[in-house]
A = this chain, B = another copy of it.
Amino acid sequence: MVTIDLYDKTAEYFKALSHPTRIKIIELLSRNEMCVCEMMAVLNLDQSHISRHLMVLRANGIVKDSREGTKIYYTLKNKDIVKIIDEVKKIVGE
């Protein structure tokens, strides 16, 4: 049995936050749910770029998705993460 340590999990979570595109996606989702095609338009990035980063966020339990027709809408599972990002932005912005 492989037990994953709390420090490993915490480090993994920080790693999920360690890409500018993923941070931007989280901020977008903090305001509205959004489908991939809308993120592409707002962030001006291609589909596979967005989609791959969403995969990381999904794998870390940060976002969840729900399909509506051909579109898939994403939302944040827990909005606490937005406050954490704001705190770090404040630290690095000083």
Range of interface residues on chain A? Answer: 20 to 34
Q: Which residues of A contact B (CB under 8 A)?
A: 5-15, 17-20, 22-24, 78, 80-81, 83-85, 87-89, 91-93
Which of the residues B78, B81, B92 comes within 8 Å of A13, measured between beta carbons?
Answer: B92
- 24 A-B pairs within 8 Å (CB atoms) are namely A5-B20, A7-B20, A7-B24, A10-B20, A10-B23, A10-B89, A10-B92, A11-B17, A11-B18, A11-B19, A12-B18, A13-B92, A14-B15, A14-B18, A14-B23, A14-B88, A15-B15, A17-B18, A78-B91, A80-B87, A81-B91, A83-B87, A84-B84, A84-B87
Interface centre among A23, A92, A93 (most CB of B within 10 A): A92
